[in-house]
Amino acid sequence: MRRVLSALAGFILLVVAVSPALVHPATSETRGALPLYAVVQYPLPAGSTGPSQITSDHSGRIWFVEQGSNQIGRYDPSSKSFSEFQIPTQNALPEGIAVDPAGEVWFAELTPDGLGVLSPANGTIKEITIPPAPDGIGCGPIGVTPQGNGSIWVTCEFSNQIDEYVPSLGILKQFDLPVAFSAPLQVLFDRSGNFWFTAADSGMLGYATASKLRPGTTDGIQEFAPLNSTYVSTIENPLLPGGKVMTSLAVPSGIAFSPDGGSLWVSEHGAGSFDRYDIGSKTLTKYFTTTPSSSLYTQSLPNGIAVDSSGFVWVAEHYGNRVAEFDPATGTMEEYPVPCCTDEIAGTLYLATGTNGTVWFTEYFGNAIGELTPVGTAAPFDIALLPGAVTLGTSGTAAVTLSVSATAGRVGTLSLGAEGVSREGELANLTATFDPRTLGPGFTGGTATLSLSSSGLAPGVYYITVAATSTTGLISSAVLEVTVSQGFQSLWAVAVCVIALVALALVAASHRGKFRRKRHGTSVLQKRSVMPVIRQESEEGMQREAPSLR
């Protein structure tokens, strides 16, 4: 009996020792090494307003639409001069803009359901009318994408179509989408000549096989909702089977390829996150920007997205009033604040990569365009996480060391923070405590401790953005991979079951001893009637513990 109890106590101590949290080896370190960029702003000419979508041509000139002043704008970095071209149709509300291989500039006109083309050689603009869908609903053109073969593709947000215009033939083909109320926004061609697109209102991505497309049908087009089990929400759609769709995307807007073409980067204009969709494995990984500094806005609403030649991902934060630079290889991110006006935010809706490593963006409310230009030095501060990944139970704890390096005189005070559990980026069911919470002023380097405590956090993999925000406005962050496992609770359940079984066995042994001592005074029927009761108790005990074992 003593040996049994001693072994049982040892097992209990073993369980207690390993159950709270399991931390990956301290070799998984994340280090910030992103180059530093300077923000340069160029106010539009007097009277020009509402710059929205933006692109660059092969000469490095920047083209953008001006919704407020109904113009197409051009900025030449070499001469530092603006040129503007008036759109013939009044109040056309220009949207998407792109430059084709021949250098012609194409743009969408939302109000008249039109497509425009500007010839830079002579400044003339030609407008093409996009007919409504068979049900009479107008196109609502938003995105414009030139194809290598000369075709121009237009996304129709209202009529739920994607159209192809063939300039050489002057014809337009309309292709229907299989999911109602999709609201396609942007088309992106792959190396095979097929294309992907974002469907904002259905929370989906789409893929079209060019050889199977048939005008007036949905042939060759498929739409799907990528799922990350950690972040799933429901969108009501009465025209779908079951009347709803489960998705992990909140208003997917911009879309861009990774340099190898194996992944899609997608912005979510209904949240504070952007995503990497791995085409081969069909997996979705979600990353979070930091919360806007203004109390008027709770989410950054990423919109425009681009990937540069180095593989860095650039994100325009509409409400965040920042432009983010993210390195997928290291999980580090820099966020650059955009100085603006008294309206709190500049309206950084769209961006595009330029020449010489530059990134250009529009300021819708600031009536300016901006340039992020590399300055040739490292950021004034960065953070590293050690370890870069932790595992804990649905209720457990873990600790991470933050190593912070800074350049004296260039930082000010640093405030530490974290986000990225809920769809909105809040730390729901997870507490993050920093010691110390702030660093500086005059801080040049050192460490801080991040303590994580989960309470009822659903199992899954979360990518937590751990950020250091300077009083200068610059934000440097690193991504912490947090795996929440049900296994820790299962281990406790197994322990309880084993303890219960051992206890029952001890009770059974005790009863058998009594039987032996009272053999002459107990009938065979009485002896048999005891053991089924013991087995029944054992089965009930297992049944009570079974749910936590699943």
CATH number of the domain enclosing 429: 2.60.40.10
Average pLDDT over all residues of the chain:
84
Q: Which domain-ending residue is among 448, 467, 485?
A: 485
pLDDT of residue 394: 93
Q: Which domain-ending residue is among 214, 233, 252?
A: 214
pLDDT of residue 505: 52
Same domain, 101 and 161: yes
With H, G, I as helix, E, B as strand and everything else as coil, classify residue 365: coil
Query: Is the sign of the CA dihedral 23, 26, 28, 31 positive or negative?
Result: positive
Same domain, 538 and 428: no
**Six token digits for residue 376:** 């040739």
The answer to whether residue 321 is domain-embedded is: no
The answer to whether residue 497 is domain-embedded is: yes
Per-residue pLDDT band at 8 (split at 50, 70, 90): very low
Q: Does the pLDDT of residue 353 top 70, yes or no?
A: yes
Sheet holding 81-86, edge to edge: 51-56, 62-66, 71-76, 81-86
What is the rounded distance in angstroms from the CA atom of residue 186 to the CA atom of residue 18?
A: 49
Same domain, 439 and 530: no
Query: For 370-387, how does the pLDDT look when each residue is reduced to its tens digit (9 = 90+)?
Result: 999 999 777 888 899 999
Per-residue pLDDT band at 398 (split at 50, 70, 90): very high
The answer to whether residue 372 is domain-embedded is: no
Give the CATH number for residue 177: 2.130.10.10
Same domain, 418 and 514: no
The answer to whether residue 142 is domain-embedded is: yes
Q: Does the pLDDT of residue 334 top 80, yes or no?
A: yes
Same domain, 432 and 528: no
Q: Which domain-ending residue is among 214, 233, 256?
A: 214
pLDDT of residue 380: 85
Query: For 414-466, how does the pLDDT look when each residue is reduced to its tens digit (9 = 90+)?
Result: 999 999 888 778 888 999 999 999 987 777 888 999 999 999 999 999 999 99
The answer to whether residue 70 is domain-embedded is: no
The answer to whether residue 473 is domain-embedded is: yes
What is the rounded distance in angstroms from the CA atom of residue 508 to the CA atom of residue 201?
A: 64
Contact 208, 217 (CB under 8 A): no
Q: Stretch 321-327: mean pLDDT, rounded?
A: 96
pLDDT of residue 51: 98
pLDDT of residue 346: 94
Query: For 510-540, how does the pLDDT look when each residue is reduced to its tens digit (9 = 90+)?
Result: 544 443 333 334 333 233 233 333 233 333 3
pLDDT of residue 378: 78
Per-residue pLDDT band at 342 (split at 50, 70, 90): low
Q: Stretch 74-98: mean pLDDT, rounded?
A: 98
The answer to whether residue 305 is domain-embedded is: no
Same domain, 179 and 197: yes
- Residue 203 is part of which domain span? 87-214
Q: Does the pLDDT of residue 85 top 70, yes or no?
A: yes
Q: Stretch 343-369: mean pLDDT, rounded?
A: 94
Q: Does the pLDDT of residue 508 top 70, yes or no?
A: no
Other beta carbons within 10 Å of 519: 9
pLDDT of residue 409: 62
Q: Of 20-29, 139-148, 332-341, 351-360, where does mean pLDDT reach its minimum?
A: 20-29
pLDDT of residue 115: 98
Query: For 125-182, how does the pLDDT look when each residue is reduced to its tens digit (9 = 90+)?
Result: 999 999 999 999 999 999 999 999 999 999 999 999 999 999 999 999 999 999 999 9
Same domain, 26 and 143: no
pLDDT of residue 30: 39
Q: Stretch 486-509: mean pLDDT, rounded?
A: 49
Q: Which of 211, 213, 156 is nearest to 187 (CA)?
A: 156
Domain count, the chain: 3
Same domain, 196 and 164: yes
With H, G, I as helix, E, B as strand and everything else as coil, classify residue 406: strand
Top-confidence range, 136-140, 232-236, 504-508: 136-140
Query: For 12-54, how does the pLDDT look when each residue is reduced to its tens digit (9 = 90+)?
Result: 333 333 323 322 222 223 344 588 899 999 999 999 999 999 9
Per-residue pLDDT band at 332 (split at 50, 70, 90): very high
Per-residue pLDDT band at 293 (split at 50, 70, 90): confident
Buried b (16+ CB within 10 A) or exposed e, 127-156: ebebebbeeeebbbbbbbbbbeeebbbbbb
Query: For 180-216, how does the pLDDT look when each residue is reduced to its tens digit (9 = 90+)?
Result: 999 999 999 999 999 999 999 999 999 999 999 999 9
Same domain, 389 and 492: no
Same domain, 509 and 545: yes
What is the rounded distance in angstroms from the CA atom of residue 271 to the CA atom of residue 353?
A: 23
pTM for the structure as a whole: 0.83
Same domain, 471 and 502: no
Matching residue, tokens 């950690």: 230
Contact 157, 140 (CB under 8 A): yes
Higher pLDDT, 327 or 376: 327
What is the rounded distance in angstroms from the CA atom of residue 326 to the CA atom of residue 290?
A: 12
Q: Does the pLDDT of residue 233 top 50, yes or no?
A: yes
pLDDT of residue 25: 26
pLDDT of residue 263: 98
Q: Does the pLDDT of residue 4 top 80, yes or no?
A: no
Same domain, 96 and 190: yes
The answer to whether residue 336 is domain-embedded is: no
